[in-house]
Structure 1
Amino acid sequence: MITKEAVLKALSNVQEPDLGKDLVTLNMVRDIEIDGKNVSFTVVLTTPACPLKEMIEKACINAIHILVDKEATVKVHLTANVNSNRTDNKNVLPGIKNIIMVASGKGGVGKSTVSVNLALGLAQEGASVGLLDADIYGPSMPIMMGLRDERPMMTEVNGKGMIVPIEKYGIKVMSIGLLVDEKQAIVWRGPMASSALKQFITDVHWQELDYLIIDLPPGTGDVHLTLVQAVPVTGAVVVSTPQAVAAADARKAIMMFKQPQINIPIVGVVENMAYFTPAELPENKYYIFGKGGAKQMADQFELPFLGEIPIVQSIREGGDKGVPAIMGDEPVTQKAFKDLAQSVARNIAIRNANLEPTKVVQIAGY
């Protein structure tokens, strides 16, 4: 006779590969039901974008067959509850579990393209996602997300007027570009830009989100310091291209996050424009900007390498048309961005399990 205790004991031998503990210890096994030789239970993953879910499901079935009853019919339901280790008072962005910055040391490396497709990739896996364009001087989200003529609405929350982010492709989007005419240059000094950004944090009604992706401006300046002092950042993704010049500037972004007074975990490094693949020859790779510069940098700093994004015409076309590449039908780019989303989600889950809780950075003298 199969018992609940026997099932739990068997599943205590199944490890969560990233977190290094068994499913029972991690309280990931729920709703065990037994009917004769029919066994069903739910495994609650730490993210819907978990790339190892099929492996975990197979390991659970094997554990029951080997340790309980080889003739059992096993049904594993996989669901997800995105983990978070926020321990702040949640006065700011209270409903958001994980806040991820996407940064680069210089402009032109495709950081906004990565941010948009990363956010959509996480949403496609079943997560609730928001996208904040923190590039006050050069906002690109309205064009890339097909929101050029859209304007956000206002709502009242607890007696306070709040901006409602615009929803598109299943994610919530906010950008200064949605509030001003796209032909108008934003000529502001640093304090004004920082003040506007603080309003996006405190006055936008994001509601409940698993991930908020913040697309940072290039460099290491006012906006970056404002954000780390205003919100509890879970981690940062650093974008670079293969050539030495871009990698040198990306190192500066890494060193900014690693400064003792900032100390924000780096989720990993992604190499954009890694190689060119022509549509008619999808198996061919031409390394026109060099090869492996971002990978070498990740290895140098002992950071996870999140993957390579190719140069494909559909990525550029999608950004210009307001239909991001991951929403298109070109398989090379879809796979690249889907793999990136899974890698980021996986490394965020590992970060939350193993590192200090997320908190707002206190910086004296800045």
Structure 2
Amino acid sequence: MPSHQSPFRQTNLEDREPLPPDPISEVRNQEVVRCLKQVIEPTLKNDIISLGMVRNLRVVEGYIYLRLYIGRHQHDLQTEIQQILAPLTWCKKTYIQVCTIPGVKTTLAISSGKGGVGKSTTSVNLAVALSLQGFKVGLLDADVYGPNVPQMLGLGRAEVKVIETSNGQKFLPLEAYGIKVMSVGLLAEPEHPLAWRGPVLHKIVTQFIHDVEWGELDYLLIDLPPGTGDAQITIVQESPICGVLLVTTPQQVAVSDVRRSIHMFRRVGIPVLGIIENMSYLICSKCGEHTPIFGSGGGKQLSMELHAPLLGQIPIDPLLCNGGDTGAPLTLVNPDSTVGQVFVQMAGAIATTFGD
């Protein structure tokens, strides 16, 4: 499959900016928001507005339009929304577009403000840790600038198949160590730069969200590109991400970059579920002393600012790097290692959060 083409149908639909709301519609919009804030998602125990599950809300001439981004276990929320909006005397009808990834229960984004902080390494080992705890896990490598997940999982240049389903053509994900994997890197020529731009990039990223036959998954982890460009915004806007895990390193430069990316998630309303600090310290192989090579305190600082837990502090370990190079993640090879235990504990915290 050439890197610059998509195997799927073309579309001529254009995204158009909505007309500015009139005063009456604006007041009604605010009334709808107040009603929707009464709908509580039972797992995260927060309202669907604060969780960013409701997007593209519009009120036009007495009609309510909205998109509802949910997992496979949350379809009852659609009925609850209809019921809570029904008493509005001016409402003629409510149209709800349900946006979900079929078969996927919980979708989590893993993000960083800058490259080089170990985001993909974190994504791979966290996926392994969740799988080791018995969960069905998928990993979507959406880093269009540095798609390294296939190499880190030993997949190399495996060919991606396109299959026919009842819902049209779908990508068939590959599998490594029980984890279902899809990566933009699998569509590119070896050693060639990924130079997708504009509409092609948007289309590729959108189809990687909607046109992959994942099957039944407990968790789908999306490894986002670093920064806040077009690809990141498209993924965040188009996918039912219920929370983001931010990866940083201890130094202030990395922390400052993470702060910039937080604004993107806040625009959509996606909550930050936790902070992961990578390269926190080096463990001396002889005496066991911890040396903070890149400084200290960055993860804790972000945790306090965002009121989000510091899920784990990952030490520097040459075996972690070696595992990525050889396609044998350290958490899989040695889950009892110091690094492995950090990832296992983080996976346990995620499972506790989502009631699994």
If the length of structure 2 is used for normalisation, what is the TM-score?
Answer: 0.71
Contact 1:136 1:217 in 2 (8 A): yes
Contact 1:243 1:291 in 2 (8 A): yes
1:114 to 116, 122, 129: 122
The answer for the alignment partner of 2:136 in structure 1 is: 128
Q: Once structures 1 and 2 are overlaid, which stretch shifts more, 132-141 or 222-231?
A: 222-231
TM-superposed deviation, 1:221: 1.7
The answer for the alignment partner of 2:290 in structure 1 is: 285
Supply the distance in 2 between the matched residues of 1:97 and 1:209 (Cα, whole angstroms): 6
The answer for the alignment partner of 1:214 in structure 2 is: 222
Supply the distance in 1 between the matched residues of 2:243 and 2:108 (Cα, whole angstroms): 5
Secondary structure of the corresponding residue to residue 283 of structure 2: coil
Contact 1:93 1:201 in 2 (8 A): yes
1:192 to 186, 196, 200: 200
Classify 1:159/1:274 alpha carbon distance in 2 versus 1 (closer, same or farther; 3 Å). Answer: closer
The answer for the alignment partner of 1:74 in structure 2 is: none
The answer for the alignment partner of 1:244 in structure 2 is: 252
Which deviations, in whole Å up to 9, do the C-alpha atoms of 1:327-348 show, x marking residues without a partner? 1226111101111111222234
Segments of structure 2 that go 5 or more residues without pairing to the other structure are 1-42, 46-70, 79-96
User: Given the alignment of the two structures, is residue 141 of structure 1 paired with residue 141 of structure 2, yes or no?
Assistant: no
User: Given the alignment of the two structures, is residue 342 of structure 1 paired with residue 344 of structure 2, yes or no?
Assistant: no
TM-superposed deviation, 1:128: 0.6
Contact 1:155 1:162 in 2 (8 A): yes
Supply the distance in 1 between the matched residues of 2:111 and 2:206 (Cα, whole angstroms): 18
Secondary structure of the corresponding residue to residue 191 of structure 1: helix
Contact 2:72 2:102 in 1 (8 A): no
Larger radius of gyration: 1
User: Given the alignment of the two structures, is residue 97 of structure 1 paired with residue 93 of structure 2, yes or no?
Assistant: no
Supply the distance in 2 between the matched residues of 1:180 and 1:256 (Cα, whole angstroms): 28
User: Given the alignment of the two structures, is residue 227 of structure 1 paired with residue 232 of structure 2, yes or no?
Assistant: no
Secondary structure of the corresponding residue to residue 269 of structure 1: strand
Give the residue type in structure 2 aligned to 1:285: H
TM-superposed deviation, 1:232: 1.4
Supply the distance in 2 between the matched residues of 1:159 and 1:127 (Cα, whole angstroms): 26
Which deviations, in whole Å up to 9, do the C-alpha atoms of 1:52-89 show, x marking residues without a partner? xxxxxxxxxxxxxxxxxxxxxxxxxxxxxx99546466
Classify 1:113/1:277 alpha carbon distance in 2 versus 1 (closer, same or farther; 3 Å). Answer: same
Supply the distance in 2 between the matched residues of 1:293 and 1:102 (Cα, whole angstroms): 17
Give the residue type in structure 2 aligned to 1:273: M
Q: How many residues align?
A: 269
Contact 2:137 2:179 in 1 (8 A): yes
Supply the distance in 2 between the matched residues of 1:171 and 1:264 (Cα, whole angstroms): 25
Give the residue type in structure 1 aligned to 2:277: E
1:264 to 264, 270, 288: 270
Contact 1:267 1:348 in 2 (8 A): no
Supply the distance in 2 between the matched residues of 1:319 and 1:19 (Cα, whole angstroms): 33
Classify 1:209/1:92 alpha carbon distance in 2 versus 1 (closer, same or farther; 3 Å). Answer: same
The answer for the alignment partner of 2:22 in structure 1 is: none
Contact 1:123 1:170 in 2 (8 A): yes
Supply the distance in 2 between the matched residues of 1:339 and 1:279 (Cα, whole angstroms): 23
User: Given the alignment of the two structures, is residue 273 of structure 1 paired with residue 273 of structure 2, yes or no?
Assistant: no
Supply the distance in 2 between the matched residues of 1:99 and 1:154 (Cα, whole angstroms): 23
Which deviations, in whole Å up to 9, do the C-alpha atoms of 1:302-336 show, x marking residues without a partner? 11111101100110000111111101226111101
Contact 1:83 1:349 in 2 (8 A): no
Q: Report the aligned-residue RMSD.
A: 2.2
Q: Once structures 1 and 2 are overlaid, which stretch shifts more, 147-156 or 95-104?
A: 147-156
Segments of structure 1 that go 5 or more residues without pairing to the other structure are 1-17, 21-81, 351-366
The answer for the alignment partner of 1:295 in structure 2 is: 300
Contact 1:92 1:201 in 2 (8 A): no
Contact 1:241 1:271 in 2 (8 A): yes
TM-superposed deviation, 1:90: 4.9
Contact 2:331 2:340 in 1 (8 A): yes
Secondary structure of the corresponding residue to residue 205 of structure 1: coil
| Superposition map of 1:10-159 within 5 A | 84-85=73-74, 87=77, 90=98, 92-158=100-166
Identity fraction in percent = 43
Give the residue type in structure 1 aligned to 2:274: G
Give the residue type in structure 2 aligned to 1:236: V
The answer for the alignment partner of 1:78 in structure 2 is: none
Give the residue type in structure 2 aligned to 1:339: Q
Classify 1:119/1:237 alpha carbon distance in 2 versus 1 (closer, same or farther; 3 Å). Answer: same
Q: Once structures 1 and 2 are overlaid, which stretch shifts more, 95-104 or 83-92?
A: 83-92
TM-superposed deviation, 1:229: 2.1
Give the residue type in structure 2 aligned to 1:172: K
Which deviations, in whole Å up to 9, do the C-alpha atoms of 1:244-277 show, x marking residues without a partner? 0001111112232123xx1101111110000012
Secondary structure of the corresponding residue to residue 255 of structure 2: helix
